[in-house]
Amino acid sequence: MTAADTIGQVSADKVLVIACGMIAREVLAVKERLDLAHIDLTCLPAEFHYYPERIPPAMDRAIAEAKADGYRHIFAGYADCGTGGMLDVVLERHGVERIAGPHCFAFYQGGAAFEAVADADMTAFYMTDFLCRQFEAFFIKPLGLDRHPELAADYFGNYEKVVYLAQTDDPDLDRVAEGAAERLGLAYERRFTGYGDLPAALGEAAKRPA
């Protein structure tokens, strides 16, 4: 989904976004909406959602490779995402900025809106469009709930509700999110967030090549 046509020969106005695979579709949607044709996208594996310690070294390598390919303008399509500040250490060393906030659940809602509900959502299990599409692959099968549904209470017993942060209005995804809440024995709430702070972050990053 990225990279120069010829290694080492990248147009000076290009911006490379190195993003979490969980937000790839959304980055591309914002790119099209804002007509940011000079943005290229590459992604680190979505499964790093489970292994945040892998994000900083992978980002370090990805930035180094991008610079070797000739990219002068790079933006990280990540929030902190559970790295405990270690992602920022890598980005600061390379002079690369990222999306503000602790995780995608925050920037989808918008920073201020997330802070307003953070305490009330302490027992919320968040889902996004991506997580609805990948619910079986990301949660049910890895946790063995397809074979042992009774384990749901062990895994999700500390949650009280599923909160679906919807980027789009898609009845199929709505049904997945509602079904997930029922399957996990949790209350259900849908919040339409759209892309939250993502358009502003990408729009700002895209201004850099003057």
For residue 32, pLDDT over 50 is answered with: yes
For residue 7, pLDDT over 50 is answered with: no
> Going from the N-terminus, what domains does the chain have, and what CATH number goes with each?
15-103+196-206 (3.40.50), 111-192 (no CATH)
Give the model's pLDDT for residue 6: 39
| Two structure tokens written together for 109 | 């809602």
pLDDT, tens digit, for every residue of 182-208?
999 999 999 999 999 999 999 999 986
From the number of C-beta atoms within 10 Å of its C-beta (0-12, 13-18, 19+), residue 172 rates as exposed
Alpha carbon distance 86, 91 (integer Å): 9
Rounded mean pLDDT, 32-38: 96
pLDDT, tens digit, for every residue of 95-124?
999 999 999 999 999 999 999 999 999 999
pLDDT, tens digit, for every residue of 40-84?
999 999 999 989 999 999 999 999 999 999 999 999 999 999 999
- Name the pLDDT band for 136 (thresholds 50, 70, 90): very high
Alpha carbon distance 89, 21 (integer Å): 21
Give the model's pLDDT for residue 2: 46
Alpha carbon distance 111, 188 (integer Å): 22
Cα distances (angstroms) measured from residue 169 to each of 35, 57, 127, 192, 194: 22, 36, 14, 8, 9
pLDDT, tens digit, for every residue of 138-158?
888 988 988 998 888 898 999
| Two structure tokens written together for 170 | 């898609």
Global confidence as pTM: 0.90
Give the model's pLDDT for residue 210: 53
Give the model's pLDDT for residue 207: 87
Sheet-wide strand order for 124-127: 124-127, 161-166, 187-192
